Amino acid sequence: MTNVFTHRVAELNRRGKTYQQMAADCDFKRSVTWWNKMYWTEIDNPPEPALFPYLAKALEVTERRVRELVAEQWCDVRPDDTVPEHLRTLLSVAREVDERDALKLVELAMVMYRKRVITMERDRYSAMLLEAYTAGSGGPLTAEQLGSLRLPEKRAVKNNPSLEVTPEAQAMLDAIPEPKEE
């Protein structure tokens, strides 16, 4: 099992929420130090159920999700093994949506799904085009040629040691930041 409660604290902290804000959001039922220790997995005992409403506010999830996080982190009980971790908070919120609004939620999910499928298809074609582009370039790729590529394609060129590039093009590639880890 994973430290899902701790991961939620870390995720909120990464997004800019401080331990002070977490403590304030839970009406200081848990101190700034407690939130810091939670981040570093130094809390051995689970929070009491009476705190769940306060923790829900601080963690920006439902009370049910707090119960699930506590059950998984401290009791090694997962709420639903078929639901991926990154969707559990969404599922806990979706359970609380009014039945009349559920259709809108499904429509939104379908739009997001179609966007992902389109992005994946675009990236697949982009990779094929990049391969054809580099195969037919007749020499090292120039900065001008790289300038017409999208960022993912430039990263692909940067990370492919078999592709030859001019010194100006290499300088352009060296300036490309690595993608942020999600």
Task: Dump pLDDT digits (tens) for 41-77.
Answer: 999 999 999 999 999 999 999 898 999 999 999 998 8
Distance between CA atoms of residues 60 and 107, nearest Å: 24
pLDDT over threshold 90, residue 137: no
pLDDT over threshold 70, residue 80: no
Distance between CA atoms of residues 40 and 28, nearest Å: 19
Question: What is the assigned CATH class of domain 4-96?
Answer: mainly alpha
Taking phi over 0 as left and psi of -120 to 50 as alpha, with beta for the rest, 57 belongs to: alpha
Average pLDDT, the chain: 87
Q: Where in the chain is the domain with CATH 1.10.260?
A: 4-96
The runs of H, that is alpha helices, within the chain are 4-14, 19-25, 32-39, 52-59, 63-75, 85-94, 102-135, 143-147, 151-158, 167-174
The confidence score (pLDDT) of residue 81 equals 66
Mean pLDDT confidence for 32-43: 95
Work out the end-to-end distance of the chain between its first and last CA atoms, rounded to an integer number of angstroms. 20
Please report the DSSP string for 85-102 in residue order.
HHHHHHHHHHTTS-GGGH
Query: Which own/partner contact pairs does 145-151 have at CB distance under 8 Å and 24+ positions apart?
Result: 145/169, 146/172, 146/173, 147/172, 150/126, 151/176
Residue 182 — very low, low, confident or very high, per pLDDT cuts 50/70/90? very low
Structural tokens at position 58? 């601080």
Mean pLDDT confidence for 133-138: 72
Share of the chain above pLDDT 90, in %: 46
